[in-house]
């Protein structure tokens, strides 16, 4: 066995090492360890000083990300492995094993560097707006997985001293088993490609997937799962491939349109619906929003009844104003004069089919904001006003009797 720096050793110590094989092993191991550690320290020092200084001086942010993701520091870990591989000749009996271990470690280190590099690339990519439209996290994860699989094959081929091509040919017979093991990975990869190509979901989208109790914003799209943060701040993880198998609602179109729909009913007690008397019409003309409407409408009805010789002594003869129709016109004009509603989107005030809850009078409009809090404020403000206005038209809002209603009835 050769010795390191044997020319610098005292004669007695040199002879002792040559006579005692274990002492020589310990001596050579110590020398290799010290040299490898020194090389590692030098490489780390270079990264922490020269590379860090260069990175901080540049105007680009991508090299800062590479440094923060430890791409350079992990690359420095290759240096001691190269040193050990180069100095393995001092152990003739174990030289082959040492070289295998060193080469395997180098391959493993390269894999960790690649993983850090992809993390850095993903962070840089997600700083651009296009990342919201085309998320690449799932694809990056499958690429890392494939590279790691190839790295494992290379490491095994180094250890058993066989060609990687031979190992890959043997994997063909295991395809069925691999597909079973990596089923979710394969499905996730296919789903990720479909999601990107169809632009069906992206980070920041508000989605609803009732089967998984998901109702909130998409915060992450990965290979195996899509994370949704619900409005109650809980986080739901949904398998990525489920977005190809299950139905879900994406509210992105609503957000991009700039208007959010209000579709709510006021159930009118049908027993309160009637024709308006002249006194009631005179009273309703005091309402500024419909005073001109009532004036014009009254003249129009009188003219029509006169032309058709309608016997107005009986209310059902001819044409008359109703309180429900007048209230519907009032709602329409009230909505039109609000500045927090979209004028370029559909606006409807309509009656729905009567049911056991009365006559539904539906307000169908769009707000000029899509923000949840502002939207709820606008919607509440509209119906606060309408519910308080019902009684001025001689109408009543329907609601099921409460315990207090029954108590009042009994008291009478």
Range of the domain at 43: 6-196
Q: Tell me whether residue 1 is in a domain.
A: no
Cβ(228)–Cβ(208) below 8 Å: no
Verify that 190 and 56 share a domain, yes or no.
Answer: yes
- Residue 281 sits in the same domain as residue 346: yes
Question: Phi and psi of 228, rounded to 5°?
Answer: -120, 125
Query: What pLDDT is stored for residue 13 in this prediction?
Result: 44
CB under 8 Å to 63, separation ≥6 — which residues? 54, 55
- In which band, very low, low, confident or very high, does the pLDDT at 322 lie, cut at 50, 70 and 90? very high
* pLDDT per position as a tens digit, 135-174: 777 778 778 888 888 888 888 888 877 777 666 666 655 6
Instruction: Determine the pLDDT at residue 123.
Output: 80
Report yes or no on 163 lying in a domain.
yes
Instruction: Note the Cα 366 to chain centre separation in Å.
Output: 25
> Are 202 and 175 in a shared domain?
no
Question: In CATH, what number is assigned to the domain containing residue 218?
Answer: 2.30.30.60
In this predicted structure, what is the pLDDT of residue 243?
Answer: 87
- Longest CA–CA separation in the chain, Å: 140
Alpha-carbon span 118 to 99, nearest angstrom = 29
Asked if the structure places residue 246 within a domain, the reply is yes
Confidence at residue 144, expressed as pLDDT on a 0 to 100 scale? 83
Rounded CA-CA distance 88/104 in Å is 14
Contacts (Cβ under 8 Å, ≥6 apart) of 282: none
Of the candidates 111, 104, 46, which has an alpha carbon nearest to the alpha carbon of residue 72?
46
Percentage with pLDDT > 70 across the chain? 81
SS (H, E, C) 36-96: HHHHHHHHHHHHHHHHHHHHHHCCCCHHHHHHHCCHHHHHCCHHHHHHHHHCHHHCCCCHH
Measuring CA to CA, how many Å separate 162 from each of 95, 108, 156, 175? 18, 18, 8, 20
φ, ψ of residue 182 in degrees (nearest 5):
-100, 30
Same domain? 402 vs 276: yes
pLDDT digit string, tens, across residues 187-222: 777 777 777 767 788 888 999 998 899 999 999 888
Same domain, 177 and 89: yes
Domain match, 182 and 269 both: no
Check if the beta carbon of residue 403 is closer than 8 Å to that of residue 294: no
* Judgement on whether residues 278 and 231 belong to the same structural domain of the protein: no
Highest mean pLDDT (candidates 30-44, 216-230, 277-291): 277-291
Given this model, what pLDDT does residue 25 score?
Answer: 61
Give, in order, the Cα–Cα distances in Å from 355 to each of 360, 361, 364, 404.
8, 12, 19, 24
What pLDDT is recorded for position 196? 72
Cβ pair 55, 64 in contact under 8 A: yes
> The tokens of 298 are what?
């009254």
Reduced to 3 states (helix: H, G, I; strand: E, B; else coil), residue 229 is strand
- The per-residue pLDDT for 112 is 85
Asked if the structure places residue 31 within a domain, the reply is yes
What's the pLDDT at 198? 73
Tell whether the model's pLDDT for residue 355 goes beyond 80: yes
More confident residue, 366 or 194: 366
Query: Looking at 241, 257, 273, which one is the last position of a domain?
Result: 257
DSSP characters over 155-166? HHHHHHT--HHH
d(CA 65, CA 86): 33
Helix, strand or coil, per DSSP, at residue 235: strand
Report if residue 378 sits inside a domain: yes
Confidence tier at 185 by pLDDT (50, 70, 90):
confident
Query: Helix or strand or coil: residue 396?
Result: coil
> Does any domain span residue 339?
yes
Q: Do 203 and 245 fall into the same domain?
A: yes
What's the 3-state SS for 102-135?
HHHHHHHHHHHHHHHHHHHHHHHHCCCCHHHHCC
Which value, to the nearest 10 degrees, does the dihedral of the CA atoms of residues 216, 135, 55, 69 take? 70
pLDDT tens for 88-111 read 666 666 677 878 888 888 888 888
Judgement on whether residues 313 and 385 belong to the same structural domain of the protein:
yes
Residue 370 located in a structural domain: yes
Residues above pLDDT 90, as percent of the chain: 36
Strand-pair partners of 322: 275
Whether pTM exceeds 0.75:
no
> Domain ends where: 207, 226, 257?
257
Q: State the DSSP string of 203-270.
A: TT-EEEEGGGTEEEEEEEE-SSEEEEEETTS-EEEEETTHHHHS--EETHHHHHHT-EEEEEEEEE-G
Same-domain pairing of 233 and 325: no
| For range 13-34, the mean pLDDT | 58
In a domain, 232, yes or no: yes
Q: Are residues 189 and 52 in the same domain?
A: yes
Q: Among 239, 257, 275, identify where a domain stops.
A: 257
Tell me, yes or no, whether 393 and 281 share the same domain.
yes
> How many independent structural domains does the chain possess?
3
């Amino acid at each position: 066995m050769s010795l390191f720096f044997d020319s610098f050793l005292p004669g007695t110590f040199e002879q002792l090492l040559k006579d005692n094989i274990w002492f020589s092993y310990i001596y050579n191991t110590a020398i290799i360890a010290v040299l490898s550690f020194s090389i590692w320290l030098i490489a780390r020092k270079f990264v922490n000083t020269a590379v860090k200084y260069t990175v901080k001086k540049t105007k680009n942010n991508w090299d800062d990300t590479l440094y923060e993701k430890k791409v350079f520091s992990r690359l420095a870990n290759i240096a001691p492995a190269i040193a050990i591989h180069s100095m393995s000749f001092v152990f003739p009996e174990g030289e082959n094993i040492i070289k295998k271990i060193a080469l395997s470690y180098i391959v493993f280190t390269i894999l960790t560097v690649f993983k850090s590099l992809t993390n850095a690339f993903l962070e840089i990519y997600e700083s651009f707006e296009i990342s919201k439209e085309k998320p690449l996290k799932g694809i990056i994860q499958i690429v890392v997985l494939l590279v790691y699989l190839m790295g494992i094959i290379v490491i095994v081929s180094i250890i058993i001293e066989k060609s990687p091509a031979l190992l890959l040919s043997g994997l063909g017979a295991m395809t069925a088993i691999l597909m079973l093991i990596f089923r979710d990975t394969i499905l996730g990869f296919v789903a990720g490609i479909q999601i990107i190509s169809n632009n069906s979901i992206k980070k920041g989208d508000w989605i609803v997937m009732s089967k998984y109790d998901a109702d909130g914003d998409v915060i992450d799209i990965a290979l195996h799962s899509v994370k949704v943060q619900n409005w109650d701040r809980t986080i739901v993880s949904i398998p990525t491939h489920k977005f190809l198998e299950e139905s879900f609602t994406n509210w992105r179109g609503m957000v991009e349109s700039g208007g959010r729909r209000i579709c709510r009913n006021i159930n009118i007690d049908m027993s309160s619906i009637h024709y308006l008397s002249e006194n009631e019409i005179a009273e309703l003309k005091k309402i500024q929003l419909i005073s001109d409407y009532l004036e014009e409408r009254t003249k129009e009805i009188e003219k029509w009844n006169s032309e058709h010789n309608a016997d107005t002594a009986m209310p059902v003869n001819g044409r008359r104003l109703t309180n429900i129709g007048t209230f519907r016109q009032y709602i329409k004009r009230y909505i039109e004069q609000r500045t927090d509603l979209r004028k370029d989107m559909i606006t409807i005030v309509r009656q729905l089919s009567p049911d056991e809850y009365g006559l539904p009078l539906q307000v169908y409009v769009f707000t000029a904001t899509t923000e949840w809090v502002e939207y709820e404020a606008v919607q509440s403000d509209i119906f606060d006003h309408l519910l308080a206005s019902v009684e001025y038209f001689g109408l009543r809002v329907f609601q099921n009797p409460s315990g207090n209603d029954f108590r009042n009835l009994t008291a009478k």
